[in-house]
Chain A
Amino acid sequence: MKHAILAVIVLIGVAWLGSLVGLDPVFGMVFPYVALAIFLGGFTYRILNWAKSPVPFRIPTTSGQGKSLDWVKQDKLDCPATFWQTVGRMLLEVFAFRSLFKNTKAEIHDGPKLVYGSSKWLWLFGLAFHYTFLIIVLRHLRLFLNPVPGIIGQIEFFDGLFQVGVPVLYQTDIIFVGAVTYLFLRRVLIPQVKYISFAADYFPLFLIFGIAVTGILMRYIFRVDVVSIKQLTMGLATFSPSIPANIGSIFYIHLFLVCVLLAYFPFSKLMHLGGVFLSPTRNLANNNRMVRHVNPWNDPSIKPHSYADYEDEFRQFMADADIPLEKELPPEPEPEPEPAAEETEKPAADAAAETPAEKE
C-alpha cells in the first residue's frame, strides 16, 4: 500500500513540477496522445492475445436449472441454452454484476454452526463506482465535442438535479468519491481482503481517487478557466493541439493522472473490463450435450485402451463367467495369452481389496 500511495504522490509531484517549469506542451499535448495510443494499442493487444487462445471445452458454470425435459422449467438467465439467453446472462453480468449480487458472508459460531448472511455492500458500491465513473466520463465528452450533443446536457442536468451550490454540485462526484473510499476502506479494514491485497490493488484506487479529487478541486475550489481548457481539449480532439495560457497546474495534474491511468490500464487488473466478455464460464451456452463443440487441438491419437486388448487379457475369465466374447478361446487353452499391446501389463496388484476405494 505504501508503494502505491507513494507512486501516486510522485506522479502528482511530477505533473506539478512539470507545469511549473513550463513543460505544459509535454503534459498537455504529448502525454495525452501517447497515453491514448498505449491504451488503445494495449487494450486491443490484450483482447486479441486472449482471443488467440482457443476455448477447447464448453465449460459454463451452471447457476440454475439447465434445459432438459420440456416440462422442467429452465432458468434461462443463470443457465442459458441458446445464444440469446447467453447474451442475457452476459448483459446482467456486465451491467448489473449479477454474480456479485449473490454474495454472502459466512460466520462460524459455537456448535459448530455456520451461518451465511446476505452481503450486498460490495455489489452496491461496486455498481455505484462503475456507473458514476461512466457518467463522469460521458460528462467529460463536453470537452471534446463541438457542438455539445443534447444528451450530455441532459446528463449534466439530471446529475445536478438538486441544484446545490454554484457551480451546481454533481451527485455523481459525491457518490464516486464515496464509492472509491469504500473500495479502499474495505481493503484495509476487512482483514481477509487486506491479506489478499497487493500494491496493484491499491494503486488504481489511489490513482482514481487522485483524479477525482483534482477534478473536484478544479470545478468547485480553484475555478479553472473552462474556456481555455476546452480550447486545449478540442485541440487534442481535432488533432491540432495548442496550449492556451491561464491553465493552472491543477489541470495538468488531473490530466497527467488520467494519462497514467490510460497507459496503465491495459497492463493491469483493470483489464477485467475486457476480460469479463471472454470468460468461458459465463459467455457460453450450457448446450454441451445438445450441440457439438469442437476443440481445435483435440488429439485423435489418444485412444482408449482397446476392447481387443481387454478381451485378450481376460478372455478365459470372461468365457468362464459366460460373458460374450468377440474371439472364442483357442482350442487348447493357454495359461498366458500373448500380450497384444504395450498396455496389457498389469498396473497394480490384482485384488480389488487393495484398491483405494476399499479404504473407505
Chain B
Amino acid sequence: MADTKVEQMSVNVVKEPSMMTGAIPRKDWMDTPVTFKPGNYCYPAKKSIVEYLSKGLPGLFGEPREWKVEDDDWQLPENWVEIILQGMRERLDKFRSFKVFMDICVRCGACSDKCHFFLGTGDPKNMPVLRAELLRSVYRGNFTKAGKILGSIANGREMTFEVLKEWFMYFYQCTECRRCSVFCPYGIDTAEITAMARELLHLVGVGTNWILEPAANSNRTGNHLGLQPHTFKQNAEFLLDDIEEVTGVKLNSLSFNRKGAEVLFVIPSADVFAEPGIFTFMGYLLLFDHVGLDYTISTYSSEGGNFGSFTNNELMKKLNGKMYAEAERLGVKWILGGECGHMWRVVHQYMETMNGPPDNLEVPRSPITGTVFENAAAAKMVHISEFTADLIKHNKLKIDKSRNDHRVVTFHDSCNPARGMGMLEEPRYILQNVCNNLYEMPENTIREKTFCCGSGTGLNTGEIMDLRMRGGLPRANAVKHVEDKHGVNMLSCICAIDRATLLALMEYWNPNVGVCGISELVGNALIMDGEKERDQDLRFEELLGAGETGDAENNEEGA
C-alpha cells in the first residue's frame, strides 16, 4: 500500500504547491534537477536478468551490473553519451514518427493537462509537452543546425548525466496511454516518444526490474509470472473445481498444447494466477464450454501481455513471436485473445507487421455463428469481446442477466483497446446484455478520452505506490463520481494490468468498489446446460435474491 494515507493524499493533491494547484516554479525546467528518493523511482534490473536478456538480443540492454538509482555513479559505460546519440540517430532514421514528433511541436499546451500523472502530481515535467522536451532538447542540441550553432539560445541541450536521470524519472512516469495524442493538433504521440526514450535508456543499461524480469520470464517459461508448464496447467485446472462448485457443471473442454484444435486461446497469464483475473478466466471457460468451442491453451505461449513492448521493439517482437509460432505448431485455424490492454496494442498494431504474415492460419470464422472476422483477415487474431459480442448478437448465449444484479457496474475503457484499437462498443454491448445495472462515467473520462489506471507500461510495481495512486487519481475520481451518484460497486475492464492495478487504486480511493473483467460478468450470467441452481457468483458471493434474500450490501468487497 501507499506510504501516504489517503486522507493526507486527498489534501496534498489539492493544497500542496504544484502546477495543478496554481504554483509556478521559479526556476526554468531545464535548470531543475531531479532528486531520486525512495518511492519515486522503480528499482533497477537485476544483473542476472540483464545477462539473460542480452544473450537473446545482444547490445540492447547495456552492461549487466548491479547499480543503484540513488547513487551518483550509475556505472554507465565510458562512451554512454555516444551510445545514446548514436541510438537517437539510428531511431530518427528508422521511425518517421520519432523524427516528425521531434520537429513539429509548437508548444501550444493543449496536451498539458491531459496526462493523468500531471493531474495527480502537478509536476510540470509530467505535462506531455515537457516530457517530450526532455528528449527534444537533446535532439535540438545535437541534430538540428540551429541547436548545434546556437546551443541553449535555440533551447538545445547537451546529453548529460542530469538529463539521463531526468529521462529515467519521467519516461517511467508515462504509461504510454496516448491520451495526450488524442488532443494534439498534430497527433504527436508521447507513447512513441517514451518508447524511444526507453529504448535509449536500455541501450546504456538503465532499465527497471519490474519490466525486465517479467520479460525474461515470458521468454523462458512463456508467461511473465515464471509459471512453469505444469504449474500453469494446475493453476488453470484448479479453477475448474471452483467452476464446478459454483455451477454444478464439470467442464471438459479445457486442454493444453493440444494439436488440431480449431482455435488457440492466448490470455494474459495473470488470469490463471491472481484475483480478480481468475474470475475472468472462469468466465472465458464457461463461455467456450457453453458454445462448444474447440480451443486449446498453450503453456509455451501462455502470456498475451508483452513486457517487451515496454523496453524496445526488438524484445517486443521476440516475445510476440511465440503466438504465431505456437499457432503454427499446433495447427490451429486462428487465434483468440483474452482481455488484456497492451497485449492488444501489440497484437492490433504490431504483430502482423513484426511476425506475419501467418500463412498457415485462416481468416477467423466463428464456428458457432459463421461470422467471418474480416477486420482480422490479415492478423488472424480475434479479441474475446468481438467474439462474445458476435455470439450475443446471434442469440447463441443463454443469459440470465439478473445474476449480476448484485453488481452496479461501470466500464473503464482500457487505454490500449480504446486508443490503440478503437474498441469501444463491443465491451459495452456485452455488458448491456449481461447485467442490468450499468452506468457510464463522465464523458471526458471514458472512450477515447479514458484515463489510464496510472500503472501501465510496467509501472505497477510496489515501490512507487504513492506515485501510482496519484497517477490513478483521475480514473478513481471518475469512478467515485458514479459511485456517489448511482451506487456503482463494480469497475469492469478488459485489461489484465487494470485488473491488478485498479484493484489497488480502488482499495485506496474507493474501497467499496470492486474490479472485474467483463468475461467474469458473462460467466455469471451464462445458463449452462445441466447446471445446479446458482446462488453464488464466480467469487462465491451470494447472488441477489439467493439465500437470505436481498443481502447485497455485504457483497461489495470484491475479491
Contacts and interface: CB of A to CB of B under 8 A. Distances in A.
B432 interface: no
A198 B186 CA distance: 19
B343 to A, nearest CB: 13
A289 B109 contact: no
Interface stretch (A29-37, A54-62, A136-144): A54-62
Most chain-A CB neighbours within 10 Å: which of B101, B313, B376? B313
Interface stretch (A17-25, A162-170, A188-196, A250-258): A188-196
Interface stretch (B417-425, B521-529, B548-556): B417-425
Contact of A269 (B106, B317, B356): B106
Given A53-B93, A279-B187, A305-B318, A347 B422 contact: no
B321 A275 contact: no
A3 B152 CA distance: 12
Nearest to B25: A195
Interface residues of A, number: 117
Most chain-B CB neighbours within 10 Å: which of A67, A81, A197, A290? A290
Given A275-B186, A302-B317, A360 B500 contact: yes
Interface in B14-70: 14, 19-22, 24-25, 29, 46, 48-49, 52-53, 55-57
A146 interface: no
Smallest CB-CB A-B distances: 5 pairs: A66-B422, A304-B321, A275-B104, A62-B422, A347-B216
Contact of B371 (A3, A66, A69): A69
Interface of A: 3, 46, 49-59, 61-69, 71-73, 75, 78-79, 81, 93, 97, 99-100, 102-106, 108-114, 116, 122, 126, 190-201, 267, 269, 271-272, 275-276, 278-282, 286-295, 297-299, 302-307, 310-311, 313-314, 317-318, 320-321, 323-324, 342-348, 350-352, 354-360
Most chain-A CB neighbours within 10 Å: which of B104, B258, B321? B104
Interface in B82-97: 92-97
Contacts of A110: 14
Contacts of B192: 59, 281
A304 B318 contact: yes
Nearest to A326: B329
Nearest to B347: A289
A52 B474 CA distance: 40
B117 to A, nearest CB: 12
Contacts of A50: 96, 99-100, 103
A321 B234 contact: yes
Nearest to B324: A304
A53 B57 contact: no
B274 interface: yes
A267 B149 CA distance: 13
A69 B394 CA distance: 12
A76 to B, nearest CB: 11
Given A59-B189, A63-B448, A303-B318, A79 B422 contact: yes
Contacts of B461: 356, 359
Interface stretch (B217-225, B246-254, B399-407, B485-493): B217-225
Contacts of A293: 352-353
A308 to B, nearest CB: 10
B100 A275 contact: yes
Contacts of B349: 57-59, 288
Most chain-A CB neighbours within 10 Å: which of B178, B350, B425? B425
Contact of B477 (A57, A114, A298, A311): A114
Of the four ranges (under 10, 10 to 19, 20 to 34, 35 or more), the interface on chain B belongs to 35 or more
A99 B124 CA distance: 22
A190 B127 CA distance: 14
A48 B465 CA distance: 46
A97 B186 CA distance: 9
B424 A64 contact: yes
Q: Is the interface of B mostly helix, strand, loop or mixed?
A: helix
A58 B96 CA distance: 11
A154 B420 CA distance: 46
Given A108-B21, A114-B477, A289-B379, A310 B222 contact: yes
A272 B49 CA distance: 42
Given A68-B386, A100-B185, A61 B214 contact: no
B146 A54 contact: no
Nearest to A293: B353
A250 B422 CA distance: 54
A194 B24 CA distance: 10
A62 B209 contact: no
Interface string B259-302: 10000000000100110000000000000000000000001100
B188 interface: yes
Given A51-B96, A59-B192, A348 B186 contact: no
Q: Is the interface of A mostly helix, strand, loop or mixed?
A: loop
B130 A347 contact: no
Given A53-B93, A65-B424, A304-B319, A103 B183 contact: yes
Nearest to A201: B107
A357 B224 contact: yes
Contact of B374 (A198, A290, A356): A290
B408 interface: no
A108 to B, nearest CB: 5
A294 B460 contact: no
B197 interface: no
Contacts of B274: 357, 360
Interface in B131-172: 133, 144-146, 153-155
B322 interface: yes
Given A298-B353, A343-B55, A347-B220, A352 B182 contact: no
29 contacts: A3-B153, A65-B424, A67-B422, A68-B426, A69-B373, A69-B390, A93-B185, A104-B183, A108-B119, A111-B477, A112-B473, A114-B473, A126-B108, A192-B127, A201-B107, A279-B97, A289-B378, A290-B379, A291-B377, A291-B378, A293-B352, A304-B322, A307-B325, A317-B229, A347-B53, A348-B216, A356-B213, A357-B225, A358-B225
Contacts of B379: 288-290
Given A61-B187, A196-B107, A111 B230 contact: no
A191 B24 contact: yes
B112 A302 contact: no
B360 interface: no
B154 A200 contact: yes
